[in-house]
Structure 1
Amino acid sequence: MKLRCILFILFTTVFAEVHAQGISRRVEALVNAPISSIRGLSVVTDEVVWVSGTQGKAGRSTNGGKTWEWFTVPGCDSCDFRDIEAFSADRAVIMGIAEPARIFLTEDGGQNWKQVYFNDTKGIFLDAMDFRDDKQGVIVGDAMNGRFKGLQTGDGGQTWQDLEMPEAAEGEACFAASGTTLRVLPGKQAFAIASGGVKSRFFRYSGGKWAVIGWPATQGAASKGIFSFAFHGAKNGVAVGGDYVNPKDENNNCLLTADGGNTWFLPRKAPRGYRSAVEYLDRKQLITTGPGGTDLSTDSGQTWEALTDEGFHAVRKAKKGSRVYLAGAKGRIAVLRINDQADGRSK
């Protein structure tokens, strides 16, 4: 049965605060959700936020995290929903990862969930989902029969079709860490995926063709590689990852590109270890997080400074707005507060 409750915020915790160029930035706790681990995070506006995770659960806030509703998708008590894509306060698509892989759609704010995809093929494992708009979406999964698994929709997630994908090397996979090992890119039907494991590469799809690009990311073991990437415009991008069994290792855990992903280079100062998600705040400011901490860059990713030792799995910025939310283990959900000290404004 569906679990539904309203949880009011009883406390506020500021994990840390940093000041630069007259602006203070702090990560502020909102709530501990009744979800063991959250990896799915979708921020529609500054006020509308959806999350998903273990135990077949999802959550929604329509007032900027002040109050939340929690749902258990029927028949999915053991499902791990690693990604969620929301389009409004009412409509969202949620992705369960493995054996069976299942996708559900709600159009009434989580009151009811319709199963729109089911696949119990042995070995199937879905990693990430992204949408270009409210109709066109893509999903990537680990390799089956030598190729990455791909799905696409053109009707907002009502139906899903197989998508031709590139070959994967033995021991190469994507990571279902934050839903951001896949991103749609500027350009008609363009998108990209990042891999890790024995081999880590960048795969870009555009004009009906795949470009396979090597990069200097840490790799060579199942726990290593790129776990997340993001772009600001068509040219500038950042990728983060590392080694999740050696989370303090900074070796080649962050890469930058200025030519749309054709070439990648190391920053001057890397984040402080393994990071599972990265997001642009604007052209200059970026935030990255992982279980071991959260870091901020104010120079387009060239150097990273500690924001807090509090770590999360996922971080996303509002599609229509400026607010940034984080979510992670033990159901923790937080917001990045940015205050312009010159005029006292906070968001």
Structure 2
Amino acid sequence: MRALGKTRRLMSLVLCGAAVTAALAAPTAHATSAADTATAADTTSATPAAPATRGAHTAPGWVLTDTGTDARFRGLAAVDRRTAWVAGSKGTVLRTTDGGRNWRTVSPPGAADLEFRDIEAFDSRRAVVLAIGEGEASRVLRTDDGGATWTESFRNTDARAFYDCLTFFDSRHGLAMSDPVDGKFRILSTADGGRSWNVLPDAGMPAAQTGEAGFAASGQCLVSSGPRDVWLTTGGAATARVLHSGDRGLTWTATASTIPAGDPARGVFGVAFRDRTHGIAVGGDYRADQASPNASAVTADGGRRWRQSATPPAAYRSGVAWLPHSRSAALAVGPTGTDLTRDGGRTWRTVDTGSYDTVDCTSDFGCWAAGERGRVARLGF
């Protein structure tokens, strides 16, 4: 009976996933928020979009929650349908445990000058947050009590380093990445849940291209899948690349993506893998007055080869997430809207016009998105 119960729950999740995907793809499946227009999408600031209607919807789509702040949230960690963390500008960290009805400010004391761009949460009490910037502006802090107290576990002392993203394989093992130092991307490693960090040897890291860097735009320039695989995305150089490691960051291989680069504002901004082989990359040019053709790509071999999407999103996208229990559906977000794919990233369709920078989903269909002016939404249906 226990096995039968598990089977029924799995079938219910699969059917629910199919229903959500179909509903989002329907012509009327748009969130009921007012259309938002962002005039800039760089990694430091943007002109605020018009506020949207909160809390009500008539079809499956994003339902805005009231965060009570105007901070821009590029860091997002979805734990489940009820619990999520966001991190952003002015040292702001928020947490909800009731599905977004209430957000609690759990910002680290004295962090108002820090710019948080990534957060990873293990549950409602344990989280690790990354602050970006040159030199000592790049820091990592951890909480074990829901944000009541924070401990700084890493402060960058190398003026040449600039940390962009972090990821965890499990509750103990994780990595953080910095833009190139001495011609190679720098990788930090932790084996105690982010309580301490060490710089990994760079012998297994390929040389960086001139001008190559990561984009701290969505917390998705460094992502992992499974116990050992991790991917790092780049831009700013002649070619936008995705680097892969199968040994938790000790050795890496670099592959050119099909997303255009050749300018400091262009490249791969985020990537998501539903397993160790199937992935989607998104990006483009974050400048609002510049077009972003070919802003997505797909791989079916762990990133050894990338194929251009036949119908990519119509504009720059910074975040991407697979819908739970689906082998083919995913969401991509950016300042001009949300796009849905139902064929693994080959073709995309805009389903919402609200401004978001990052997106994250959990196995119980807790899909969340976050962005400018305190915007945090949960997928409602």
Fold in common (TM above 0.5): yes
| Shift in Å, 1:21 | 10
1:29 pairs with 2:64: yes
Match of 1:206 among 240, 243, 246: 246
Match of 1:285 among 329, 354, 362: 329
1:97 pairs with 2:132: yes
Amino acid paired to 1:65:
G
Match of 1:192 among 213, 227, 231: 231
Amino acid paired to 2:241:
R
Instruction: Report the secondary structure of 1:227's partner residue.
Output: strand
Deviations 1:11-63 (A, max 9, x none): xxxxxx85539985311111244242111100111111000011111000001
Match of 2:17 in 1: none
1:307 pairs with 2:354: no
1:177 pairs with 2:217: yes
Instruction: Report the secondary structure of 1:230's partner residue.
Output: strand
Are 1:248 and 1:274, in contact at CA under 8 Å, matched by a contact in 2? no
Higher share in strand? 1
User: Which stretch of structure 1 is more off in the superposition, 214-223 or 245-254?
Assistant: 245-254
| Shift in Å, 1:70 | 0.7
Are 2:120 and 2:127, in contact at CA under 8 Å, matched by a contact in 1? yes
**Unpaired stretches in structure 2, ≥5 consecutive residues:** 1-22, 30-58
Report % sequence identity.
33
- Give the Cα separation in 1 of the matches to 2:180 and 2:116: 19
Match of 1:340 in 2: none
Match of 1:112 in 2: 149
| Shift in Å, 1:184 | 1.2
Are 1:55 and 1:77, in contact at CA under 8 Å, matched by a contact in 2? yes
User: Which stretch of structure 1 is more off in the superposition, 216-225 or 191-200?
Assistant: 191-200
- Give the Cα separation in 2 of the matches to 1:95 and 1:322: 26
TM-score by length of 2: 0.80
| Shift in Å, 1:246 | 4.4
Match of 2:98 among 40, 56, 63: 63
| Shift in Å, 1:314 | 0.7
Amino acid paired to 2:150:
W
Matches within 5 A, 1:141-152: 141-152=178-189
Match of 1:341 in 2: none
Amino acid paired to 2:234:
S
| Shift in Å, 1:213 | 1.1
**Unpaired stretches in structure 1, ≥5 consecutive residues:** 1-16, 338-345
Matches within 5 A, 1:211-290: 211-246=253-288, 249-281=291-323, 282-290=326-334
- Give the Cα separation in 2 of the matches to 1:124 and 1:236: 31
- Give the Cα separation in 1 of the matches to 2:110 and 2:123: 24
Higher share in helix? 2
Are 2:294 and 2:309, in contact at CA under 8 Å, matched by a contact in 1? no
Q: How many residues align?
A: 320
RMSD: 1.8
Match of 2:26 in 1: 20
Instruction: Report the secondary structure of 2:280's partner residue.
Output: strand
| Shift in Å, 1:163 | 1.7
